[in-house]
Amino acid sequence: MTSGNSEITEDGDARLLVEALRTIQEEDGVLTGAALRELASEYMVSPSRLYGVAATCPEFSFEAAVEDRRPQGPPVEEPEFFNRIIRAGHAQLVVSGALTQRFAHPPATIEAYVDAGGMGALARASGDMKPEHVLSEIVLGKITRKDAEWQAAAVTEQPFIIANCHAGDPIAGQATTLLDRDAYSVLEGMHCAAVALGARHGFLYTANLTGEEETRLNRTALDIAAAADGDFAVTVVPGVNSLVGSEDSVARAVIDGRRPVPSAQRTGVLLLRGRAAVIDSAEMFANVTAVLASGEPAGTRLYRVTGAVDRPGIIEADASATVRELAERAGTHAGAQALVGGLSGAFLTEGQLDQRMSVLKPADNPRWRTVHMLRDRRDIFPNAREMAAYNARYLCGRCVPCRIGSVRMAEMIEAFPPDAETLAELAETLVATALCPVGRGAAGMIRSALKRII
């Protein structure tokens, strides 16, 4: 067995565990329970962490006794439920503001983008404005909700800039739509941010791409860089299609060449390859472009409305819009209920639809700018049941609460009425102990449903 007698404390050191696991599998053919326990003791990590590392790497095989103890969850069809939402969600694109002004006629070339008013933001940022003024527009102008991260990166030398364009949740499609319809504005916003921070290198982090999509985005990045005529370069980095793929810690792991699993959020300056990094959403960078080009303050967000509405799709609306206002714009009907936030969201009854989207959850999270309308209260339970089964199958399983708890929740909610007390207690445990917001949100969704169906 590989020797190792130092405690594993950082996520990057998981690579040492993978190498040790490979050695065991080469020697024994499979990972046995005894070997896993011995390795956990040798490296001073918990057996659950070691199992989590092995379980997320498809190259490893477990002996039958170990595999039988791994919860499998109820059988789940391919997510046709979400495929219906995805198809319906692209039915319309409401062009109503600065973020969607080019959606009707997406620019196919840099020349078309310039003719449509593009590159004006960067010209202003690198011409009339000082870097600190550009930063002030981003932070004090409320374009970003991550002002502390931006301010921390601003006092470091040549920080990295990361545009997180991964939706994660299949219901959330704003970032994908932006890259399809106006990737130039996202990249121009990154170049404006580079002026503010003195950055030289950025990353456009996405979900898994086809070869054609990756080629298009790389060409777009090169076109913007040539038009900018500066020293800032952007690399397109496709991630994996998973529920946790949109987590910032996963984005940094993929860019850094590590396994795409979440890590506990740490306070202070975010680091990537030993240097400071600032990471924000695709929509935020598109908003930087819109605000600097127009001189008007940021006031709108992109929302996705699906479900029991006449006109499902992407809607640009005021940041202070209520759930009811969005639903009415999409053509809802009296008595409708809502699921806000997708797989990690919360159910709202008809009487709760007047809540503002901006106060339900932080507005920089695209998952929480999705609204799925339900016909009435009777739709809450079947939707919760299907989402619980989907979460049980597609959560990464790195931490024990998600790996086991999500499966148990899916099993328990299969029956109606479920054992509400036990299920609520399990959901509370996951909310308190799951490693990342996606896992905690999956439990929060169950807890929200129980309040409205019991």
Q: How many CA atoms lie within 13 A of 12 on its CB side?
A: 8
- What pLDDT sits at residue 68? 36
Residues 186 and 82: their CA atoms lie apart, in Å, by 27
The CATH code of the domain at 11-68 is 1.10.10
Q: Report, as an integer, the average pLDDT of 402-415.
A: 90
The answer to whether 190 and 171 have CB atoms below 8 angstroms apart is no
Average pLDDT over residues 410-427: 90
The pLDDT confidence band at residue 105, using thresholds 50, 70 and 90, is confident
% pLDDT > 70, the chain: 84
The pLDDT of residue 95: 55
Other CB atoms within 10 Å distance of the CB of residue 400: 17
Amino acid at 420: A
Distance CA 252, CA 279 (A): 9
pLDDT at 337: 94
Separation of alpha carbons 408 and 432, rounded Å: 16
Domain 320-453 matching CATH 1.25.40.10: the answer reads no
Lowest mean pLDDT among 73-82, 127-136, 166-175, 212-221: 73-82
Q: Amino acid identity of 220? A: T
CATH 3.40.50.11540 fits 99-294, yes or no: yes
Using CA atoms, how far apart are residues 264 and 269, in angstroms rounded to an integer? 14
Which segments of 325-424 are extended strands (E)?
337-340, 346-348, 370-374
CA angle 427, 430, 435 (to 5 degrees): 155
Q: How many residues are listed for the chain in this entry?
A: 454
Name the token pair of 102: 């080019």
pLDDT score at 169: 80
Contacts of 26 (CB under 8 A, 6+ apart): none
Q: Report the distance separating Cα 306 and Cα 287, nearest Å.
A: 24
pLDDT of residue 241: 81
Q: Cα–Cα distance between 192 and 196 in angstroms, integer? A: 7
**Domain ranges across the chain:** 11-68, 99-294, 320-453
Residue 221: per-residue pLDDT: 96
267 vs 305, which has greater pLDDT?
305
In this structure, the number of other CB atoms found within 10 A of the CB of residue 359 comes to 10
pLDDT tens across 43-53, in order? 777 665 676 67
Give pLDDT, residue 421. 92
Looking up tokens 């933001």, which residue turns up? 121
Distance CA 363, CA 365 (A): 5
- Whether 66 shows a pLDDT value over 80: the answer reads no
Most confident of 22-26, 118-122, 211-215: 118-122
Instruction: Give the range among 95-104, 146-155, 396-405 with minimum mean pLDDT.
Output: 95-104
* Mean pLDDT, residues 345-359 taken together: 91
- Give every strand in the sheet of 346-348, ordered side by side: 92-94, 313-318, 300-307, 370-374, 337-340, 346-348
Q: Do domains 11-68 and 99-294 have the same CATH topology?
A: no
Q: What is the pLDDT of residue 182?
A: 93
The residue written with tokens 């850094």 in the block is 256
What average pLDDT does range 172-181 have in this prediction?
88
Is 74 a residue whose pLDDT tops 50? no
Q: How much is the average pLDDT of 51-76?
A: 53
Reported pTM? 0.78
Taking CA atoms, 244 is separated from 155, 347, 441, in Å, by 30, 21, 11
pLDDT band at 84 (very low <50, low <70, confident <90, very high): low
- Reported confidence tier of residue 99, pLDDT bands at 50, 70, 90: confident
Q: How far is CA 12 from CA 15, 33, 45, in A?
A: 6, 24, 14
pLDDT tens for each residue of 212-252? 999 999 999 999 999 999 999 999 999 988 888 888 888 99
Look over the chain and give the mean of its residue pLDDT values, rounded to a whole number.
Answer: 83
Which has the closest alpha carbon to 399: 30, 39, 49, 112?
49
Q: Does an H or E element contain 237, and which?
A: strand 233-238
Residues facing 273 on adjacent strands: none
Pick from 55, 441, 446, 17: nearest CA to 246: 441
Q: What is the pLDDT of residue 320?
A: 87
Q: What is the mean pLDDT of residues 4-12?
A: 40
Q: Which of 166-180, 215-229, 302-316 has the largest mean confidence?
A: 215-229
DSSP assignment of 36-92: HHHHHHHHT--HHHHHHHHHT-TT--B-HHHHHTS---S----SHHHHHHHHHHTSE
Is residue 337 within 8 Å of residue 309, measured between CB atoms? no
